[in-house]
Amino acid sequence: MKADPRDQQRLLDLQQIDTIAAQLERQRSHLPVLAKLDELAQARMHAQDAVVTAETEQGDLERELAKAEADVQLVRDRAARDQAHLDSGKGTAKELTSLQHELASLTRRQADLEEIEIEVMERLETAEAALTQARSTLAAVDADVAAAIAERDEQAADLTGRLAEATAPRATVVGELPADLVALYEKLRASHGGTGAAMLHARRCLGCQLELNNADIARIRAAAPDEVLRCEECSRILVRTAESGL
């Protein structure tokens, strides 16, 4: 392939634009805040799980408490009926004595059930405190997530702006270059880690950093200035400049 030496050197400008653009894109996709957001997503999942667990625990205890209260109420109602019966004085002496025994037994039963009720109430209080704590942890994680998202958006917007600025002249540069030279450059850039054209600097290919041997240098010296050269090592377009050491 042949191309005007000035066009070959201009290809280095294009490479410079593309290298800077690739750096900015890499920076944008590897923002430290993105790793932080991943960690926060994990933390949020755990905090959310803790809230669900605490809510379930609270709900279970509320049902347990309602049952304990109903149990106590049943015994109270039964005792009230017995007491009313006793107070009425109706029935045989044997029946009234039996009622008195039952009342005494109900009183003991009520005391036992009330103890259970108090114990459930205490457990419910503990569960409610745990739920409050879990919700507050979740709210704190949510606040951290919101802050990290704002930070990410700000940094990404800044890099997107710098990227637009850096690549603004690209179309003009491409437009000024021969299409076949640009096509070869793009093909090599895509397959060679983002670098399609490299300067020959002090006998070294700046694409692969290898120093050319004397035979290669002799071949390059003999080549016509408009011959598009390729590095023997990395096959990138090798651009001669005043600093090539030829």
Provide the binding-site residues for Zn ion, judged by CB under 5 A. 205, 207-208, 231, 233-234
Q: Are 217 and 203 in contact (CB under 8 A)?
A: yes
Rg (CA), the chain: 42
Q: Which is nearer to Zn ion, 177 or 199 (CB)?
A: 199
Q: How far is the CB of 238 from Zn ion (least distance, A)?
A: 7
Q: How far is the CB of 43 from Zn ion (least distance, A)?
A: 47
**Which residue, among 47, 31, 25, has the nearest Cα to 150 in the 3D structure?**
31
Q: Which is nearer to Zn ion, 170 or 203 (CB)?
A: 203
Q: How far is the CB of 17 from Zn ion (least distance, A)?
A: 20
Beta bridge pairs of residue 211: 204
Query: Contacts for 20-24 with beta carbons within 8 Å, 24 or more apart?
Result: 20/166, 21/163, 21/166, 21/167, 21/170, 22/194, 24/159, 24/162, 24/163, 24/166
Q: Which is nearer to Zn ion, 42 or 191 (CB)?
A: 191
CA atoms 208, 211, 217, 219: torsion sign = negative
Q: How far is the CB of 28 from Zn ion (least distance, A)?
A: 28
Q: Which is nearer to Zn ion, 10 or 192 (CB)?
A: 192
Rounded-to-integer distance, Cα 32 and Cα 192, Å: 27
Q: How far is the CB of 165 from Zn ion (least distance, A)?
A: 30
Q: Which is nearer to Zn ion, 196 or 207 (CB)?
A: 207
Exposed (0-12), middle (13-18) or buried (19+): which is 40, by Cβ within 10 Å?
A: buried
